[in-house]
Amino acid sequence: MNSIGFGDLVAAVLPALAVGDKPALFGALAEAAAAATGLPADLILARLQERELLGSTGFGDGTAIPHARIADLPRVTALVARLAPPVDYGALDGGPVDLVVLLLSPEGAGADHLKALARISRTLRSPAAVAGLRAAGDEAALRAALGGLAQAA
């Protein structure tokens, strides 16, 4: 995990996800994660909802990192979504969210999960990194921006 950057964890990119609210967002993320991992969407959704009951994973400035641990997941995996339009997420600052990084980890990946969460959090606290992700016009540009983050991490 030490040599893996944030961009290297990303299995899927959703550059213009249109959902009406947080439950619809979680459903769409679960479907995309199921396609990327081969795990059932309902299992992923249940784990995301369980984690969110502990407290909002929206930490401000329009960003959120919903995350969960799943027993049969083979490796730490992330999905990046830009929301158009932003949704009310219940974020710590009360603002809407337009940039989401879903992090899924195997149940036994305690240290790797925490390292990935910290790396993503650091990235989303960087105004330059967030601006680059928001400015990317399409999937290719968003993947290129993430690739740049992989090099910088």
Query: What's the fold here for domain 6-152?
Result: Mannitol-specific EII; Chain A (3.40.930)
Q: Which residue has the tokens 């601006």?
A: 131
Name the active-site residue from 67, 69, 113, 119: 67
Assign 152 a pLDDT band (cuts: 50, 70, 90).
very low
Is the pLDDT score of 4 beyond 60? no
| 67 noted as active-site residue | yes
pLDDT, tens digit, for every residue of 109-124? 878 888 888 888 888 8
The answer to whether residue 137 scores a pLDDT higher than 90 is no
Q: Is the pLDDT of residue 96 over 70?
A: yes
- Distance between CA atoms of 49 and 57, rounded to whole angstroms? 11
- Residue 70, SS3? strand
User: Could you tell me the residue ranges of all domains in the chain?
Assistant: 6-152
Structure tokens that stand for 48 in this block: 């995301």
